[in-house]
């Protein structure tokens, strides 16, 4: 089959971008979408043109590295699947497909279809964990977890952190992402001690990163490759309300050795100290 592509090309964050048209005449239905782009890139390199930059790693739908918009749809037309799991049999001969990177202020474009999703890591770092020192854990069966709670936690923890929810949201909200981690840890006995602090700090961090507010439209859940349900946002809102109402003026957790910009690649070499 023959596929026509319009792909967003942008050399770097500092450059202007624009759509460029490509024609891929030798596509077969068993190819994955990314293999189709591999074929295109192979030809571009042979012609001496820069290939289209796109992120991918596991190509099994679990690492969350891939993702872009296909005709405005995050990860393309297939429900509950990443673009790496989408095969060309879901498209028709002669289709014109427009590929563009995630569009969100919190996800700056790095090149072509690659964006910087470091904001999601910083949301997790703001409280998306259980504080448990290596070696300090009790016997695993000492704390029973009802099967229903384990199942709810697993459903929420299935989030792959790809950012499709943000790209689908008219407000570029990260509520589904944040809610999934708040829910995962909030329904487990192990996550109770930090439950209130967690929901407040994570939602505050999401706002600080430039993600918008959630208005419960539900576009996020519809495009989520991991099938995360809107329920996680409701749980997050409920936890946030309880935390906000019962909150006392508490100080931030003390950092051991605060540094200025975690999760950022070095602009200069690190400070030269004698080591």
Under the binding rule (CB under 8 A), the answer on residue 46 touching another protein is yes
In the complex, the smallest distance separating the C-beta of residue 266 from another protein, rounded to whole angstroms, is 6
Closest CA to 119 of 81, 77, 161, 156: 161
Per CB under 8 A, does 161 bind another protein? yes
Among 16, 94, 136, 246, binds another protein (CB under 8 A): 136
Distance CA(103)–CA(9), nearest Å, equals 14
Contact between 137 and another protein by CB under 8 A: the answer reads: yes
**Element at 22 (helix H, strand E):** strand 17-24
* Interface stretch with another protein, choices 17-25, 92-100, 137-145, 168-176 (CB under 8 A): 137-145
The overall longest dimension of the chain from CA atoms, in Å, is 64
What are the DSSP E strand ranges found in 173-269? none
Which range touches another protein (CB under 8 A), out of 17-25, 53-61, 97-105, 171-179? 53-61
- What lies within 8 Å, CB to CB, of 79 at 6+ separation is 222
Q: Does residue 248 belong to the site contacting another protein (CB under 8 A)?
A: no
Token pair for residue 199?
């929901």
Q: Which residues pair with 74 in a beta bridge?
A: 69
Q: Does 114 bind another protein (CB under 8 A)?
A: yes
**Span 79-98, contacts to another protein by CB under 8 A:** 80-81, 85-87, 89
Our finding on whether 197 is near another protein (CB under 8 A) is no
Choose which of 4, 17, 98, 116 interacts with another protein (CB under 8 A): 116
Among 1, 4, 6, 41, binds another protein (CB under 8 A): 41
Q: Rounded to whole angstroms, how far apart are CA atoms 48 and 35?
A: 20
């Amino acid at each position: 089959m023959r596929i026509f592509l319009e792909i967003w090309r942008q050399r770097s964050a500092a450059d202007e971008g624009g759509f460029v048209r490509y024609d891929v005449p030798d596509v077969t239905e068993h190819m994955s979408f990314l293999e189709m782009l591999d074929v295109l890139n192979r030809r571009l390199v042979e012609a001496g043109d820069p290939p289209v930059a796109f992120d991918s790693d596991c190509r099994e739908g679990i690492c969350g590295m891939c993702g872009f918009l296909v005709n405005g749809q995050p990860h393309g037309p297939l429900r509950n699947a990443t673009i790496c799991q989408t095969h060309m049999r879901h498209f028709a001969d002669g289709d014109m497909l427009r590929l563009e990177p995630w569009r969100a202020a919190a996800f700056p474009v790095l090149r072509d279809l690659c964006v910087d999703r470091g904001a999601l890591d910083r949301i997790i770092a703001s409280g998306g964990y259980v504080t448990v020192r290596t070696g300090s854990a009790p016997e695993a069966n000492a704390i029973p977890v009802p099967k229903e709670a384990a199942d709810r936690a697993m459903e929420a923890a299935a989030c792959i952190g790809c950012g499709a929810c943000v790209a689908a949201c008219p407000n570029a909200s990260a509520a589904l992402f944040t809610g999934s981690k708040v829910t995962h840890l909030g329904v487990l006995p192990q996550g109770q001690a930090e439950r209130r602090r967690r929901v407040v700090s994570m939602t505050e961090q999401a706002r600080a990163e430039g993600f918008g507010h959630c208005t419960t439209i539900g576009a996020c859940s519809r495009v989520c490759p991991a099938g995360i349900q809107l329920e996680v946002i409701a749980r997050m809102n409920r936890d946030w309300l309880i935390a906000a109402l019962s909150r006392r003026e508490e100080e931030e957790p003390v950092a051991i050795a605060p540094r200025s910009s975690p999760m950022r690649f070095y602009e200069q070499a690190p400070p030269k100290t004698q080591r």
